[in-house]
Structure 1
Amino acid sequence: MTLSTPLKTLTAAVLGAMAFSAHAAEYEWTFQTSETAGEPQFEMKKQWAQNVETMSDGRISIEILPVGAVVQANQTLQAVKSGILQGHLTDPSYFTGQNPAFGMIGNLVGAWSDPYDFLDYMNNAGGEEIYNKLAEPYGVHLIGAAATGLESLPSSREIKTVEDMKGLKLRAPEGMVYNIFEKAGATPVNLPGSEVYTSLEKGVIDAADYTVFATNQAQGLHEFANYPNYPGFHSLPMVAVSLNKEIWDGLPEDLKAILATSVDSMAYKMVGELKTRDMEAVREARKDPNIHIVDMSAEERAKFRGIAQKEWKVWADKNEITSEFYDSVVGYLKGHNLLPDDAGQQSSDDKSSDKASS
């Protein structure tokens, strides 16, 4: 069959548009995450990249790589600055050695009992502005903050009290979380997340500050660490979604707005999905007679938070950014009745939360 001239023209236009859309990305970036390819958070971050491509009508194309694919987890900051990577989605605590403010903002241990409060602080109460004051001199711009949720604490020993932490060989990353567990009597060990499973299996460590309950369960950690603490009482790490600052500065305003909106959407979706996964994993774990979920009492949580608060003050004196962040976040927590003036007393919000979970 011979195509008519108008049909030929239309066919050529459609094929041309398809070819254009396949190669029309104005910006092609590679981002590295701090998760392995099998973790739920990794898949959520890949979905974010796909959403950015859709929202930008194909103008931005982002490849998401797992931890260690290009550089080690604690090297992505420099890799983004130098252009080896264009961005990263990672916990800023990995960069504590470069500036203590990364560790303090990345994981203010004991501060948050609800990830939505953390997101509200970062988005609406100055947290992201303070982070960019820290990060931009390193050549990186924070597009937006996300969070996984309160982490569980898988352990081969029962931890019902702060006293139970004495002598506990605990995997913890460098920075504030390491220091606070040390002050609580534990013996922290700095290991990469990729070694948590084998270290628990071989008894190199007794417990791990690692990630959320559902991921721990899916990775089989509870086979060796069958006394997981849940709900978590310690860590709620930030996920910094950042782009090379020169690239960010050169973007048109509409693409900046698309990126910021996409990160906010991912942040809230991630919290909701991981919370649902946690509840499902807890229900499944309770069916296993060998897994004993520990819910630390309100009084013991308050003791741990008291230790943490003292360490916050120590870190606040490290530099101008840590001081500014301390004043800002403590003001937010107290203003929202999330932090008592007395470290030994627990806010009414925390108490009601503990009653609800018991």
Structure 2
Amino acid sequence: MKITSFLFTAGTAALMAASATAEPVTLRVQTHYATEHPTGKQLAEWADDINVMSGGEITVEMFYSSSVVASTETFDAAINGIIDCDATSGAYQTGKNPAFQFVGDIMGGYATPYQQLSWLYYGGGLDAAQKLYNKFDMQLVGWWVYGQESLASSKPIRNAADLKDFKFRSPPGMETKIFENLGAKPIVMDFTEIFTALESGIIDGADASGLANNQSLGLYDLVKHANYPGFHSMPSDHLACNKAKWDAMPESHRRIMSVAMESLALRTALTFEKKNAEAAADLQSKGVKLYAWSEEELQKFRDAAQSAWVDFATTPEAKALVDSHMAYLRQLGLVKE
């Protein structure tokens, strides 16, 4: 009995020691979203979730609207310890390695945020992407995906044929190649130039954001056509942390961070699904025409996009990610054998 009592006491003491309060940590995280943006508000909730779940052991200090460094410099700022984590987009880092395109906005792949997230968590995506991030001494913690983006246009874009000679604002990179292959005339310009270019007729439309965001920006006050659901772009934002900082955290802290990211991902997808549906109803009541592409037309865009993937995958890391996406898209039936 004495031996049993001793073992029980010793075991309890060991368990208590193992679960002793970890050292408090503050994580400095920069995002490009503003505090009043729906995603900015969700990131504030995410930071609060982490603080509460950790019993106050983890404090997330958010820096909104890229207030420390420029959005494109956030990743390097985390690598160099100026901040701890980057909550922007992997697509900003394609200059480092084109593989980042395939964790930032693969284009012409998945139909819903849930499919894209399932590649990350259940299709081997996280392991494949982690090799890329670790190469730069960063740790990919997770993603959030707000859904398909919608074009804003002054003329109907009902199918692939309507893209011929369509002049629109496009971000730089792979997107311009995809649309050029379909006969469009993408024009790379800064986001802030969209409104003047639409008003003056320099462009016929713009790739800006999702339907609800486009509405809030006032784009459909200028043009009266949109694609909904969208078909061309479904960007993901990432949480990527300095790997040394991440590795120094106890497993309990890392688990809290990962689970909180999964929660943020679900809330983001659900929030924008609702917001976009509300925006669609409101815009239609105001005379804006919405066009949903048929499965046949969607496949034409996917084929053009996936052809561009091969051309863009010029490094071993990019090729590995494209192969991983393609294998999972085949499982989902979105790519034909």
TM-score category by the smaller chain?
0.7 to 0.9
Matched, 1:303 2:270: no
Contact kept? 1:110, 1:235, Cα under 8 Å: yes
Q: Name 2:105's counterpart in structure 1.
A: 107
Deviations 1:80-119 (A, max 9, x none): 1112221122221111111100012311111011110111
Distance change >3 Å, CA 282–CA 197, structure 1 → 2 = same
- What amino acid is aligned across from residue 244 of structure 1 in structure 2? N
Cα distance in 2 for residues equivalent to 1:105 and 1:301: 21
The answer (yes or no) to whether the contact 1:154–1:208 under 8 Å persists in 2 is: yes
1:232-269 CA-to-partner distances (Å, cap 9, x unmatched) read 11111111111111110110110000000000011011
**Cα distance change on mapping 1:269 and 1:110 into 2, 3 Å:** same
Alpha carbons 1:104, 1:176 under 8 Å: kept: no
User: What pairs with 1:227-266 in structure 2 (closer than 5 Å)?
Assistant: 227-266=225-264
Aligned to 1:335, the other structure's residue is in SS state: helix
- Give the Cα–Cα distance (whole angstroms) in 2 for the partners of residues 248 and 265 of structure 1: 19
Structure 1 residue 79: Cα displacement: 1.2
1:196–1:92 Cα change, 3 Å: farther
Distance 1:108 1:273, change over 3 A: same
Please tell me whether residue 338 in structure 1 is matched to residue 334 in structure 2: yes
SS at match of 1:120: helix
Change (3 A) 1:61 1:121: same
Q: Which amino acid aligns with 2:126?
A: E
252-261 vs 31-40, greater mean Cα deviation: 31-40
Q: Which runs of 5+ in 1 are unaligned?
A: 1-23, 342-358
Check the 8 A contact 2:140/2:238 in 1, yes or no.
yes
Task: Specify the alignment match of 1:276 in structure 2.
Answer: 274
Whole-Å separation in 2 of the counterparts to 1:174 and 1:102: 14
Give the equivalent residue in structure 2 for 1:344.
Answer: none
Structure 1 CA distance for aligned equivalents of residues 241 and 80 of structure 2: 11
Could you say what secondary structure the match of 1:293 adopts? strand
TM value normalised by structure 1: 0.83
The code of the aligned residue for 2:322 comes to: Y
Task: Describe the superposition over 1:3-62 as per-residue Cα deviations: whole angstroms up to 9, x where unpaired.
Answer: xxxxxxxxxxxxxxxxxxxxx982222222233443211211121111111111111122
**TM-score of the superposed pair, with normalisation by structure 2:** 0.88
Alignment of 1:1-358 (within 5 A): 26-289=24-287, 291-316=288-313, 318-341=314-337
SS of equivalent residue, structure 1 residue 188 = strand
CA distance in 2, matches of 1:313, 1:89: 28
Counterpart-to-counterpart distance in 2, 1:53 and 1:221: 38
Q: Which amino acid aligns with 1:174?
A: P
Quickly say closer, same or farther: Cα 1:182–1:66, change in 2 above 3 A: farther
Give the whole-Å Cα distance in 1 for the aligned partners of 2:138 and 2:190: 23
Cα distance in structure 1, aligned partners of 2:60 and 2:193: 28
Instruction: Tell me the distance in 1 between the aligned counterparts of 2:168 and 2:236.
Output: 21
Gaps of 5+ in 2: 1-21
Q: How many residues align?
A: 316
The separation in 2 between residues aligned to 1:56 and 1:237, in whole angstroms, is 30
Cα displacement string for residues 148-188 of structure 1 (whole angstroms, at most 9, x for unaligned residues): 11111112222112232233232222222232122222222
Encode CA deviations 1:263-321: one digit per residue, 9 max, x unaligned.
Answer: 001101110111011111111111102x11122233222211111121122223x1111
1:68–1:99: structure 2 CA closer, same or farther, 3 Å change rule? Answer: same
Q: 1:92 to 1:296 in 2, by over 3 A?
A: same
Q: CA RMSD in A?
A: 1.9
How big is the shift at 1:207?
2.1
**Residue 145 of structure 1 aligns to a residue in which SS?**
strand
Task: Give aligned-pair identity as a percent.
Answer: 33
Greater relative contact order (CA < 8 Å, ≥ 6 in sequence): 2
The offset of 1:331, in angstroms, is 0.9
d(CA) in 1 for partners of 2:196, 2:255? 43
